[in-house]
Amino acid sequence: MEHIPGYDEWKTSAPEEQEPVAYCNQCGDPLYEGDALYTVDGGICEKCLSDGYRRVL
Ligand SMILES: [Zn+2]
């Protein structure tokens, strides 16, 4: 089996790991780039918004 130099290093580093841009003020979930942050209650996530502010009629 051929050994590829640097392959293990590449494999173990997580390229899809993102740094959270912000945290939800209510549930504390990390929010990443591209996620929706609603600027109520100091900044909350979509889940908390629909839990706390959406009413199904
Ligand atoms: Zn939340």
Q: What is the pLDDT of residues 16-38, one digit of tens each?
A: 778 999 999 999 999 999 999 99
Q: How far apart are CA 24 and CA 38, in angstroms?
A: 9
Gap from CA of 39 to ligand 1 centroid (Å): 12
Q: How far is the CA of 5 from the centre of ligand 1 (A)?
A: 43
Please indicate, yes or no, whether the overall pTM of this predicted structure exceeds 0.85. no
Q: In whole angstroms, what is the distance from residue 53 CA to residue 2 CA?
A: 58
| Residue-level pLDDT at 11 | 67
* Domain count for the chain: 1
Residue 4 belongs to a domain: no
Q: Which helix (H) or strand (E) holds 8?
A: helix 7-12
Name beta bridge partners: 30.
23
The Cα-based distances of 53 to 15, 34, 43 in angstroms read 35, 21, 13
**For residue 48, which phi and psi values (nearest 5 degrees)?**
-70, -30
- Ligand 1 center–CA 8 separation, angstroms: 36
In a domain, 24, yes or no: yes
Cα 17 to ligand 1 centre (Å): 20
**42 lies in which domain range?**
18-53
CA of 9 to the centre of ligand 1 (A): 35
